[in-house]
Structure 1
Amino acid sequence: MRPTTSTSDRFLLLVVFLAGVGTLGIEMVMPRLLAPFFGTSQPIWAVVIGMTLVYLAIGYRLGGTLADRNPDERLLYRLIAWAGLICAGIPLVARPLLSLAQFSLRYVVAGGFIGALLVVVLLFAAPVILMAMVGPFAVRLQIRRCEDGVAAAGRTAGTISALSTLGSIVGTFLTVLLLIPAIGTSGTIFLFATFLVLLGLVGLRDWRYGLMLLAVLGLAVAHYTLSSTIKSADCYNCTLLAEAESEYNYIQVARQSVVYANDTVDPRHVLVLNEGQATHSIYRLKYRQTDDPLDLLTDGGPWDYFTVAPYVYPNRDPASVQSLALLGSAAGSIPKQFLAIYGPETIIDAVEIDPQIVEMGREYFDLEDQDPRFPNYTTHIADARAWIATAERKYDVIGMDAYHQPYIPFQLTTVEFFQQVRDHLNPQGVAVVNAGRPASGDDRLVNALASTMLAVFPQVYMIDTRFSNAILIGVNEPVGDGVQNFTANAERMSIQALQLVMYWSVNEGRFGPIREFSPAQARYRPFTDDHAPVEQLIDGLILNEVTR
């Protein structure tokens, strides 16, 4: 056996640990790179995790084979340095490649999955495979240098695996919690590229590989020179105002000019997240001049209908609506309408998990939660389910705006969750859910949510918006004929904004007027925390759209 110094052994083990940091760091960047174009739904995560495992399997096999043929430590460091250099090329080619894939597959319902699969194969295969070769290569080197030889193979392999795993844990949390929020996706990739090239350079001690550092620097300069934004605004007739990458989302704020039939131009700010398949908040700028609640309405978008939900109760007066809790508040479109219609003293607790969205709401959507004119408006940065479980107040309206396909948090679809919501309603309170449908009108998600709500609330009502969304209303107390109550309340309503939305609800729902959801219509067993097959339901919707 050829002995080696303990210093060399320790350095090799350090390299294994640091390579683990780099490998998982690269993996955690993958979904963030894909998010602006294909979103972060479960199928996209399946692509990322599945293909990473494929690359690791290939790398483990190739690394072991190569190490047996040529157990040269310098070769190991060359592999690491080349992995870093290849990583540095990813940001430069990713955006045009992702844009092309998104455009080519825009009209394919499963296009996000297919596009993400193709892009991950093309962009990340080489660096992840190269990094996966480090572990088995290090095992071979350590066994060769160990005095006990094969007798220490188990201990050696276990040590290498443990160090690589610990490095992977550090790489995961470092990337997600610190690097991406601080320096963005591209900056994180360039940082890991530099880190890997430096690691290889230290092991090689060959100045020629220092040229790789210059190449990484050149690629970074080219990337930031050629690309000032991640992508253009993801909405029709829009100009990008700001973009950001948070811990949870890729965020865009755009200025949109809507032109009506009479050629009137209506400028507004819109919030778009991730792949841009939906608008999450709208703010019509005209309201800044008029202070008229009518100028906050979004032409029948789902945000408009939360304010009219309480009127399924008989003889309901606007003065009786005094509080709102909104789970999934985004940039504050729904609270803004409540304040404009029901008054600045309205109690509003808005829950949003992404603090970056809230900050952009304050800057671009005139979010009022820090305005002294609205003393009872608070934004809580929290997970909706955890927040409602510990909330102390009861509300006239609890709204839930977190059900956009394919992002359906299963924990917000269950009997246990809706029971928590009902426990926080005033006697004549309502729970309001914005449930999305595909453009075809497939109502399976809507029906599943309504079926579950019906297991908790004595009656459930449905309002079809002028878009494809459905608004589901669960009442805390039986209301009798809620449709008749709603119609009668609409006839004597004096607030114009409520008059208009109630008119839409009765006369212009895309799939029908306001109606009660009866037990006979329920096609799904109520979802529970133990069994809520939301992903299976969404997969079925996607398959149905593909085969239409």
Structure 2
Amino acid sequence: MTENSLTESKSRVTHRLPSIPMLVVLQGGISAASLVVEIVAGRMLAPYVGMSLYTWTAVIAVVLAGFSAGHWWGGRIAERPAARALRSTAWAMIGAALFTGGSVILLRWAGALLPHFSDPLSGILALTLLAFFLPSLFAGIPAPVLAQISVSASPDASGRALGAMFAAGAVGAIAGTVLAGFVFISWLGSVGTILAVTLFYALSATLLFRLARRAGGPVTGPTGAAMSALAVLGVGLSALQSPSPCTTESQYFCIRSMDVSADPAHPVWMMVLDHLVHGMTARELPHVMFTDHAALLDELARARHVPGFSAFFIGGGTFSIPRSWAALSPAPRMTVAEIDPVVTDIAARDFWFDPASARVLNMDARRALLIAPDRYDVILGDAFTDIAVPSHLITQEFFQLVQSRLTPGGTYLMNVIDHADRLETLVSLAHTLQTVFPVVEIWTEAKKAGPQERMIFVLAAGDRPTPRDRIETLSPDPILFARLPDGALDRLRQRIPPTLLTDDFAPIDRLMGLRL
């Protein structure tokens, strides 16, 4: 064969390969879709394991592991002739579609296995691996294949072709992250977003099969194509029919509200945000708190201040305390910073909260306190759970902001959850508060705790002590709370060295530990 013949042959092969613009668009789209799945993964895991540093660490690690395995596999596929490589990549996209759509079903099945894990971290990792490793693996296969083909399609500009493909992957990742967080989850929900990615992967597979045929590969058999289409369709329909763990899904939470009363004529509703109960309230008993921390926050505030005081709430949830206080005479002047407007709407719809009884700010509490100079007699911190603690609301700098927004003699109250055999969180929070407030009290139920018991505390900070050292309230049964005696915190500090929590260093996840 002459040199001219070889050149003509290579030219014909190159002409049959996809164009660089088409490869760039395809790579960018697949990269965007894979990052959409990564963002949605955290949202889908939240109803089972919460939204914490551990959840996002597991998601990022598992997705990157899947991409790495997929890139390695794709590199081996890229060594094949272009037509075979494109065809294999098309089948990989079928796999990505099936396992992405199937993650909805698999996650809801695997969620029932969580009680069998000895600690939350292993459960989080197991759920993430089961649901999201394989979608990421198959989504990682196309990148090296498409990059190799881009070089073959532009042998005289291979460097620019590779640069364009890497840039397409990065831009696609940015677009997928932004679209998932700001558009898709808000408008489609988690399942709708996953199904949109499933459809995109299936369409990408169809395009890749066509490109493989154009590059000289065999025509995909009608049986294989039909079976693949039916499989993707079946997985998508099964995901749609799979019962959702959420009553409502907002930008922030998977929200469930349900009547847990024995008698529907006397309803008692419970709100679950992600995987944790955030409050309960009864229609006929607005003054009764159904959680220990809410009962203690309620009584402590009223024990320390005369009627008609002003109050700022960090978090709304079921709005149980604002609803109860609205019935007082005179009613306190109340402001509630609830970041999620959907939570506020559900509190009004299902938990008998009257939005006219308080000023509700749908924004982060720290920002709300920062931008308005208003002062309050009481500020209540009720946005804290077990492993999902907003770290920016527990720092020295935040407590200084809180102090600046209190009236003389004002009180800051916050609930804390810790375990009797650890207490690192409790001691560190109390220690940090003591750097800002002259008086810091620790309140809890007046009983002897078990060695590993999960305990609920309330910290009261201000410039004067509570006039009582014991408080009895309803939760809904009578319960007695007591203030830890003077010197108790000093003794705890000697046994448990505290960590000063600042905006620069607030390792609350480590302090909380891994036990639920």
TM-score normalised per structure 1:
0.80
Q: Which moved more, 1:7-16 or 1:324-333?
A: 7-16
1:248-268 CA deviation, whole Å, 9 max, x = no partner?
Answer: 211111211379xxxx99741
Whichever residue aligns with residue 303 of structure 1, its letter is A
- Give distance in 2, aligned partners of 1:220 and 1:139: 30
The change in CA–CA distance for 1:532 and 1:423 in structure 2 (over 3 A counts) is same
Give the corresponding residue for 2:279.
281
Is 2:101–2:239's contact at 8 Å kept on the other side of the alignment? no
Preserved contact between residue 253 and residue 269 of structure 1 (Cα < 8 Å): yes
CA apart distance, 1:420: 0.2
Secondary structure of the structure 1 residue equivalent to 2:378? strand
1:12 maps to which of 23, 27, 37? 23
Amino acid at match of 1:135: A
- The aligned residue for residue 520 of structure 1 is 490
Single out whichever of 304-313 and 425-434 deviates more from structure 2. Answer: 304-313
Match of 1:212 in 2: 228
Alignment correspondent of 2:247: 243
The equivalent of 1:139 in structure 2 is 147
Q: Structure 1 CA distance, aligned partners of 2:484 and 2:328?
A: 21
Task: Give the alignment partner of residue 198 of structure 1, picking from 203, 218, 221.
Answer: 203
Instruction: State the one-letter code of the partner of 1:486.
Output: R
**Matching residue of 1:405:** 386
After superposition, give the CA deviation of every residue in 1:474-528 in whole Å (9 maximum; x if it has no partner): 11x3x2xx35x226xx9xxxxxxx97479x99x823xx54545776244414211
Change (3 A) 1:132 1:43: same
2:30 and 2:376 map into 1 onto residues whose CA distance is 52
Q: Say whether the 8 Å CA contact 1:201–1:210 is kept in structure 2.
A: no
Moved more, 418-427 or 516-525: 516-525
Partner of 1:426: 407
Measure, in 2, the Cα distance between the counterparts of 1:437 and 1:396.
Answer: 27
Which residue of structure 2 aligns with residue 508 of structure 1? Answer: 480
Which of 321, 327, 331 aligns to 1:340? It is: 327
Deviations 1:53-73 (A, max 9, x none): 111111111111210134333
Residue 210 (structure 1) shift:
5.7
Residue 130 of structure 1: aligned partner: 138
Distance 1:84 1:251 in 2: 28
Larger mean CA deviation between 32-41 and 45-54 belongs to: 32-41
CA distance 1:29–1:381, change in 2 (3 Å): same
**One-letter code aligned to 1:335:** P
Within a 5 Å distance, the mapping from 1:343-492 to structure 2 comes to 343-344=330-331, 346-369=332-355, 371=356, 374=357, 377-438=358-419, 440=420, 442-465=422-445, 468-475=455-462, 477=463, 479=464, 482=465, 485-486=467-468
Out of 86, 108, 111, the residue aligned to residue 95 of structure 1 is 108
Query: Is this contact kept in 2: 1:432–1:474, CA < 8 A?
Result: yes
3-state secondary structure, aligned to 1:252: strand
Take 2:265 and 2:455, find their aligned partners in 1: how far apart are those partners? 24
User: Which residues of structure 2 form unaligned runs of 5+?
Assistant: 1-9, 211-219, 447-453
| Correspondence 1:222 to 2:238 | yes
State which of 279, 282, 297 in structure 2 corresponds to 1:306: 297
Q: Is the 8 A contact 2:100 2:135 kept in 1?
A: yes
- Secondary structure of 1:253's counterpart equals strand
* Residue 140 of structure 1: how far off its partner (Å): 0.6
Offset at residue 178 of structure 1 (A): 2.0
For the 8 Å contact 1:305–1:465, the answer to whether it is kept is no
Q: Please tell me whether the aligned partners of residues 441 and 483 of structure 2 are also in contact (alpha carbons under 8 angstroms).
A: no
**Helix, strand or coil at the partner of 1:340:** coil
Q: Structure 1's 56 and 7: CA in aligned 2 closer, same or farther, altered over 3 A?
A: closer
2:258 maps to 1:254: yes
> Quick one: which amino acid aligns to residue 320 of structure 2?
S
Distance (Å, rounded) in 2 between the aligned partners of 1:343 and 1:329: 21
Give the aligned partner of residue 217 of structure 2.
none
Aligned residues: 480
Query: Any unmatched runs of 5+ in structure 1?
Result: 232-241, 288-292, 491-497
SS in 2 for 1:4: helix
Distance 2:54 2:161 in 1: 37
Q: Report the equivalent of 1:236.
A: none
The percentage of counterpart residues that share the same residue type is: 24
SS in 2 for 1:180: helix
Pair 1:324–1:97, CA change in 2 (3 A): same
Question: How big is the shift at 1:211?
Answer: 5.0
Query: 3-state SS of the aligned residue for 1:120?
Result: helix
Whether the 8 Å contact between 2:295 and 2:473 is mirrored in structure 1 is: no
Deviation at 1:451?
A: 0.7
C-alpha deviation, 1:307, in angstroms: 2.9
What does the per-residue CA deviation read over 1:355-414, in whole Å, with 9 as the maximum and x for residues that have no partner? 221121111011211x3xx3xx11111112222111221001001112211011211111
Letter of the aligned partner of 1:25 in structure 2? V
Counterparts of 2:136 and 2:257, CA distance in 1: 34
Shift of 1:312: 6.7
Contact 2:191–2:240 (8 Å) recurs in 1: no
Distance in 2 separating the partners of 1:517 and 1:246: 45
Q: Normalising by structure 2, what TM-score?
A: 0.85
Residues 69 and 137 in structure 2, CA contact (< 8 A), matched pair in contact too: yes
Give yes or no for contact 1:452–1:526 (8 Å, CA) kept in 2.
yes
